[in-house]
Structure 1
Amino acid sequence: MKVASPSKSLAAALLISALLPSASTQAQPGGEIEGKVLYRYTDENGVRVLDDKVPPRYVAKGYEILSLSGRVLKVVPPQLSGEELAEQKRLEEQREVDRQLLKRYNSVADIESARARKLAIVEQDMAIMRSNIASLGRQIEQEEAAAARIQRQGREVAPGLLERIADLREEVAVLKERLSRREAEAVEINREFDKAAARYAEIARQ
């Protein structure tokens, strides 16, 4: 990359500044730096240019603000593209997740202990639901057997008996739906703790 000589460029710029009283008295795109300043940017040919302003077409590429003595007062970085901004946001979010992970756990063993505690609660709940489903299933079988005996005797099954059977079946359906949700929750718990343990181990290796 061709670079203009800093000493010659600076001398030329100082001469321009002395001859042009209208030169900028503040930082040109940003006005937080007071006093006369110079700008250093890279043009389309890769040449570093020292001037009293930055042409608009070069602003997005970044530039430096210098004092008349050549001291760098501020570095304005290049503007990020949409993809670069998205990646920057992703990295910031990951850093926050990592910070929370390290704050919550002291080791992978801690993560596994937390997993076991959380799963134990879910599994206990699922065991109770399975037991209730089995118990209700036996009740349904008994009630249906009673209804079948009545029908074999040529009698009409009482509406109350049919209603009890319907209620028991509905209760089983509700329990099965709850059990399905709990099973999915157990899978999600394992997935989350697998991810946390893997990330903690990765951080520990760095």
Structure 2
Amino acid sequence: MRIAPLASALLLSTSLALPCAQAKSDDEYNGKVLYRYSDENGVQVLDDLVPPRYVANGYEVLTPTGRLLKVVPPQLSGEELREQQRREAQQEADRQLLRRYNSVADIESARSRKLAIVEQDMAIMRSNISTLGKQIEQEEAAAARTQRNGREVAPELLQRIADLREEVAVLRERLSRREAEAESINSEFDQAAARYADIVGK
């Protein structure tokens, strides 16, 4: 059943003029509904179904008397959906930020606490690297003296030097990761502070 736009308008105007009859009809429509959508020419059509080609454009569900029951919005395109998801994710992140901190000063305090742990760890690793470096210098000096005296360097000494160098390499790798972590922490808290100031400033 396809109802022309003019008939649709008359149907709706009649329902507005007869509120008592509408109330009675609404109680008795037994689940029967009509659908209002726009065709390819932008003309509103009232029908008992929505052709599949128009579903993505959105439609309205009405009782036979014209009372609006539901509005089905147009489907979002892929880019529109991604943008909506991005906005929703940002809104949730903002809510979490406001729950976690009461001010920009709170954010800076949290930054300092988190960085202090990382920086302490880096200081220990730098100290250990320095100590190992001195041990390597001593062992290499001993090996050089042995060679100058025309003797063969003991395999155990060479292995000890190799082990110390490997230990230094491991520590340098760990230190590099910690330094990157410190940069990441600073970047994270820079963004948090800027976003917090932006939110409360709006």
TM-score range, shorter chain: 0.7 to 0.9
1:137 matched to 2:133: yes
What's the CA shift for 1:189?
A: 0.8
What's the CA shift for 1:177?
A: 0.7
2:21 aligns with none
Whole-angstrom CA distance in 2 between matches of 1:61 and 1:133: 66
Which secondary structure state, in structure 1, belongs to the residue aligned with residue 69 of structure 2? strand
Q: Which moved more, 1:120-129 or 1:160-169?
A: 160-169
- Corresponding letter in the other structure for 2:162: A
Higher relative contact order (CA 8 A, sep 6+): 2
Whole-angstrom CA distance in 2 between matches of 1:104 and 1:121: 20
**1:19-58 equivalent positions in 2, closer than 5 A:** 34-58=30-54
Please, what is the CA RMSD of the aligned residues?
2.1
TM-score, normalising length: structure 1: 0.82
Which secondary structure state, in structure 1, belongs to the residue aligned with residue 61 of structure 2? strand
Whole-angstrom CA distance in 2 between matches of 1:12 and 1:113: 66
Could you tell me which runs of 5 or more consecutive residues in structure 1 were left unpaired when the two chains were aligned: 16-32
- Among residues 84, 88, 97, which one is paired with 1:92 in the alignment? 88
**1:112-123 equivalent positions in 2, closer than 5 A:** 112-123=108-119
What's the CA shift for 1:75?
A: 0.7
Q: Which moved more, 1:148-157 or 1:176-185?
A: 148-157
What's the CA shift for 1:54?
A: 2.2
Whole-angstrom CA distance in 2 between matches of 1:10 and 1:54: 18
Structure with the larger helix share: 2
* 1:34–1:199 Cα change, 3 Å: farther
1:71 aligns with 67
User: Deviation digits for residues 77-131 of structure 1, max 9, x if unmatched?
Assistant: 1111111111122222222211211111111111111111111111111111111
1:21 aligns with none
